[in-house]
Structure 1
Amino acid sequence: MLVTRAAREWPRARAIADRAAALGAEVVDLPNDRLTGLAAGVSPAADYRLAKGTLAVVVASPAKRRLQPIPPSADWRFDLAEGCPAHCQYCYLAGSLAGPPITRVYANVEEILGGLDAYLGQGTITSASTSRAGEGTTFEASCYADPLGIEHLTGSLAEAVTFFGRWDAPVQLRFTTKFADVSPLLGLEHGGRTRVRMSVNAADLIRFEGGTSPLGERLGALGRLARAGYKVGLTVAPIQPVAGWREGYDALFTAAARALDGAPDLDLTAELITHRFTPKSKGVLQGWYPASKLEMDEAQRSRKLTKFGSVKHVYPAATMKEMRAELTAALARRLPSAKVLYWT
């Protein structure tokens, strides 16, 4: 673990360092705010392993605390951390975050949360949506991180849940996770203003998600959260038409229904996200996982341009149409109360 000079001015940084040290991690107090020595230069895979095993406690700058829209998920994105300790072979952060894939956690969480009020009612996703207006102004905390995966060290997610629970306004904290240890969240006064979504996939595709909780444990955790009064959701991603995909996704929704059975006043959403990649992310991921069997064949995809003019490769329209029809029908059959927020 690395702790920058600026971070050491915040009590949270020392608390994180103490927790890490208690678990046997080496804690290095840096003389300045630069993160160096994170690439050995041997190979992309070796550099990846070194960086993935490194957590740095830093301070979110004013620029980092300036919120950005995050369609189609939420009105605004804010970050408690950047990076993720998991090893997903289709990780979208590979094309989104520059530099070595270390996990940066922010020491100035109170400052980050204190700036959210300025964005109340200002969004264009849920704040301005007739169908999703009931969610209020939504704030996504897992765009560039899986905050639950590091919660045992940071305590930042519990702080955010409690903050939103006290915030007497039409707001919602949202985050997605692939981890199952939800015990730090179960006793919190969340006020119904947090929606926790489990990132899930058909069983045959979980093998691409190294270092994460097993699917059954994720679904069990979602059930515990629902019984603790949280709004919950399924982030089904990245959807792929592998062999037996129809049966695989039907089995996924059947298992989710069992895990959520009996939850009182269940408030359940589903977000359906298909696999896509960019030339940049493909290159990075193949460097990180040279033996991966993940399909990233441009010849099997359609080429699209993003709103920024960059290229991404998605499934052909006919495949997308078929998958959407099958998955929404399976959801309606197995989880009829689930509200599908979007397909992309």
Structure 2
Amino acid sequence: MAHVTQQSRQLLDVTRIYYEPAAAELPRGRQVLERWPDATLVPVESHWRIPELHGDETNVDRWVRIKREALVLGIKKSLTAKPNGRSADFIAPSTANGCAMACAYCYVPRRKGYSNPITVFTNIEQITGYLERHVHRQGVKPEPNQCDPASWVYDLGENSDCSVDAEVSDNVDDLIALFRGLPTAKASFATKHVNRRLLTLDPQGRTRVRFSLMPARVAKLLDVRTSPVPERLGALDDFVAAGYEVHVNLSPVVVHEDWLPVWAALLDELGDATNDATKAQLQAEVIFLTHEENLHRVNLGWHPKAEDLLWRPAMQETKRSQNGGVNVRYRTGDKGRYVQQLLALIEERAPYLRVRYAF
């Protein structure tokens, strides 16, 4: 059972819990409320509409404070498993939204307004029941693909970090237990937080943890409030030994004047940190940076030094997103060259590491 640890206290010092009344009445909602008994409780009609937290640009100067001190309880109303096909076959319905960490490039605030602290969805039994039925409907996977050769893969943490979510409630415990009993499917989530309590959950190879990595010097600037990269590297063997499938996300790859040497050093560190058993099953996703104009403006209000690396107009081109926002990415011809340079470096410095995809 999740509980408040010293590690979680560094991320979360919850003083105010906003809750949908129906969410607070469920067992998972009561569990969260009992964990922070001294928090001020604020009833709300909808977890999506809390003006103090979401959609208010004046919150930028309280960005990290909101993430540390606020928590939201809600009901997940739309239960759908969206086809994906890149990292996973399906995106599972969220059991949380938002994050206590504050990575400067994170896309989640683009979708749900500014600081976006953790929302816990307390109707976990409905979510796990839906997922179990969805897996059974798929039957046996007919042929291998880049997600997995034999199992249907379900991404659990599209809008949150499951390792942090597991500091708040037992939702992630329940998901890992669910997939342990589903021989045709695997859970998968990416993380920048080392939560060693997950080592006790006995996933039996049915949960894939993808530790996100970038050179430590860059991560110190961009990966705000996350576990340091050396700590993530130090966890890889332990998670394999505990029964997880462990991959790495080399992301986001940020191009700057000496980016290749620092990535070479990181790949060397990855090799030094992992034993033969870890290397034998280790695979990677490589994702180059994309950024967004509105988030750029917000970051200038709380973390402008990050934008010196993230917002490089001379190297980037714009693309209008489906919701009308302006995204930036590395220029098409240049990006293809960057991808090939990094893939060549991986082949040279970490030949054991199979790249599932790079873009």
Q: After TM superposition, is the score higher than 0.5?
A: yes
Code of the residue aligned with 1:66 in structure 2: it is T
Contact 2:165 2:172 (8 Å CA) reproduced? no
39-48 or 71-80: bigger deviation: 39-48
How far did 1:56 drift? 0.9
How far did 1:118 drift? 4.0
Summarize deviations over 1:100-147 as a string: whole Å, max 9, x none: 512101111121111013433888xx9775444515211111211012
How far did 1:200 drift? 0.9
The answer for the alignment partner of 1:196 in structure 2 is 209
Instruction: Determine the C-alpha separation between the residues in 1 that align with 2:59 and 2:305.
Output: 13
The answer for the alignment partner of 2:107 in structure 1 is 92
1:109-188 equivalent positions in 2, closer than 5 A: 109-120=124-135, 130-167=145-182, 169-181=183-195, 183-188=196-201
Code of the residue aligned with 1:272 in structure 2: it is V
Instruction: Determine the C-alpha separation between the residues in 1 that align with 2:212 and 2:120.
Output: 21
Instruction: Determine the C-alpha separation between the residues in 2 that align with 1:68 and 1:230.
Output: 24
Code of the residue aligned with 1:189 in structure 2: it is D
Instruction: Determine the C-alpha separation between the residues in 2 that align with 1:291 and 1:133.
Output: 39
Secondary structure, in 3 states, of the residue corresponding to 1:161?
helix
Instruction: Determine the C-alpha separation between the residues in 2 that align with 1:42 and 1:162.
Output: 40
How far did 1:29 drift? 5.1
The answer for the alignment partner of 2:21 in structure 1 is 5
Q: 1:337 aligns with which of 352, 355, 358?
A: 352
How far did 1:84 drift? 0.8
1:278–1:128 Cα change, 3 Å: farther
The answer for the alignment partner of 1:314 in structure 2 is 329
Contact 1:231 1:266 (8 Å CA) reproduced? no
The answer for the alignment partner of 2:294 in structure 1 is 280
Instruction: Determine the C-alpha separation between the residues in 2 that align with 1:84 and 1:42.
Output: 18
1:84–1:284 Cα change, 3 Å: same
101-110 or 261-270: bigger deviation: 261-270
1:95–1:81 Cα change, 3 Å: same
How far did 1:46 drift? 2.6
Secondary structure, in 3 states, of the residue corresponding to 1:270?
strand
Contact 1:95 1:284 (8 Å CA) reproduced? no
Contact 1:135 1:172 (8 Å CA) reproduced? no
Instruction: Determine the C-alpha separation between the residues in 2 that align with 1:98 and 1:111.
Output: 27
Secondary structure, in 3 states, of the residue corresponding to 1:233?
strand
Code of the residue aligned with 1:342 in structure 2: it is Y
Secondary structure, in 3 states, of the residue corresponding to 2:277?
coil
Code of the residue aligned with 2:34 in structure 1: it is D
Instruction: Determine the C-alpha separation between the residues in 2 that align with 1:96 and 1:39.
Output: 13
Gaps of 5+ in 2: 1-15
User: Does 1:38 find its partner at 2:52?
Assistant: yes
146-155 or 93-102: bigger deviation: 93-102
Contact 1:86 1:210 (8 Å CA) reproduced? yes
Contact 2:317 2:331 (8 Å CA) reproduced? yes
130-139 or 111-120: bigger deviation: 130-139
134-143 or 190-199: bigger deviation: 134-143
Gaps of 5+ in 1: none
1:264–1:233 Cα change, 3 Å: closer
Instruction: Determine the C-alpha separation between the residues in 1 that align with 2:232 and 2:157.
Output: 16
100-109 or 287-296: bigger deviation: 287-296
How far did 1:180 drift? 1.2
Contact 2:279 2:352 (8 Å CA) reproduced? no
Code of the residue aligned with 2:207 in structure 1: it is T
Secondary structure, in 3 states, of the residue corresponding to 1:192?
coil
User: Does 1:28 find its partner at 2:41?
Assistant: yes
The answer for the alignment partner of 1:229 in structure 2 is 243
User: Does 1:77 find its partner at 2:91?
Assistant: yes
320-329 or 208-217: bigger deviation: 320-329
The answer for the alignment partner of 2:80 in structure 1 is 66
Summarize deviations over 1:34-76 as a string: whole Å, max 9, x none: 6635259783423534532311121111x2x222233522122
1:127–1:200 Cα change, 3 Å: farther
Q: 1:242 aligns with which of 249, 252, 256?
A: 256
Secondary structure, in 3 states, of the residue corresponding to 1:337?
coil
How far did 1:299 drift? 3.3
228-237 or 254-263: bigger deviation: 254-263
Contact 1:67 1:76 (8 Å CA) reproduced? yes
1:133–1:298 Cα change, 3 Å: same
Q: Where in structure 1 do 4 or more consecutive aligned residues deviate above 4 Å?
A: 31-35, 39-42, 126-129, 305-311
Instruction: Determine the C-alpha separation between the residues in 2 that align with 1:150 and 1:106.
Output: 11
Summarize deviations over 1:170-226 as a string: whole Å, max 9, x none: 211010111112x22223231211110111101221121111111110111122101
Contact 2:63 2:114 (8 Å CA) reproduced? no
Code of the residue aligned with 2:264 in structure 1: it is D
Instruction: Determine the C-alpha separation between the residues in 2 that align with 1:128 and 1:144.
Output: 29
User: Does 1:55 find its partner at 2:71?
Assistant: yes
